[in-house]
Structures are given as C-alpha cells and as structure tokens.
Amino acid sequence: FLDRDVRRMNNGNLLLLLPRDKIVELDMLGNTVNLWHSSGSSDGESGSIPVDTLAFHHEVFEMQSGNLLALSIEFRSFLDYPTSATDPFAPLGTEILAGDLIVEFSPDGTIVNQLPLFNILDPYRINYSSLLGLYDGLYESVFGNALETRDWTHGNAVVHDPSDDSVIVSLRHQDAVIKFSRQTG
C-alpha cells in the first residue's frame, strides 16, 4: 500500500485503492459496501462492479456528485521520439508511451468522462524520468506480448475542484501539477 490512497467519503465511509486495480468502499467497521475493478486488468471478485478502463493506480477521488475520479493508463505509439532526456544528439525512435487517463465514473461503474493527458499536454514534452519503462510487461495479457513502454506522465494524484469544475493532477515524470477544465480538457 505504499502508493495507495485512502479518503473519507461524503457519507463517512472510507474509499481505498487496492493493489492491482481495485477500489473499495468500506464502512467504519471494515465491511465492504462497494467494490469496483478495472475491466482491463482484472476479472474482479464476486459482486465487484466493472469499470471499462485498463487500470486504476495511485489515487481515487470522490466528487461532490458522488462520481469517482481515478487515474488510469493508456498506451500510444509515437514516431521520431527522443531516446534520451540528456543527449540532444541521441537517435530518435518509435516509442510506446504510457500516458495517464483520468476516468470519471458513476457508482454503478458507468464511465461519465475520460480525460486523456495525451490530448492535454504535448507528448513530446519530456523530462528526465519520462523515458523510464515502469509499465514494461505489465499488460501482456491485454496486448498479447510484453510491451516496452516509456512512462511519460506518471500521475500520482487527481482531485476535482468544484469551484470552477476543474481537475488538478500531479504528474511526477512531467515535474508538473496541472489544472484544466473537466468539461473541455
């Protein structure tokens, strides 16, 4: 649970992200009230609600509406991509980037909104850690082979600001905290 989040919900229960892509709502006696799983990486336990996304990682946030915001991931291939963050003369290559996807879903598991960071930030904006392969091989069952990837954004936190209906996300591998419109990205 080193990088997992626990939050008190509006109803007083606890919202917890569990390893390998599960979110659980617990009452104060430790009883499971709701359980969600990402359909892309888990079959889920009996009674678990599937959410049509590849993964959950690092944080889940309950919005005032009762919907949940979670960090997920998507992969895209880019041509002529830098292979070094420090050597400007390093050759360019074709790289598969892991970019964060912010998923808003209702308690019944229905996705309400998806905000891909590939559409918000320039994917050619790199930082020292942007070329690490932290997701290498993790999604072999989804893609049929072990992907070599670059962990481009590595989101660590996501929250909703209801005062202006914006989303704030912390991105370790971009050395950035960004805020953007939930409606328009």
Q: Who's near 70: CB < 8 A, 6+ residues apart?
A: 17, 23, 51, 53, 56, 59, 60, 61, 102, 103, 105, 158
The model's pLDDT over 98-122, given as tens digits with 9 standing for 90+, comes to 999 999 999 999 999 999 999 999 9
CB 29 within 8 A of CB 13: no
The model's pLDDT over 130-172, given as tens digits with 9 standing for 90+, comes to 888 777 666 655 555 567 788 899 999 999 999 999 999 999 9
Residue 1: per-residue pLDDT: 39
- Where do we find the tokens 């889940």? 60
With residue 36 as reference, give the H or E element that holds it: strand 32-38
Which tokens belong to 160?
A: 């909703």
Q: Is the pLDDT of residue 70 over 90?
A: yes
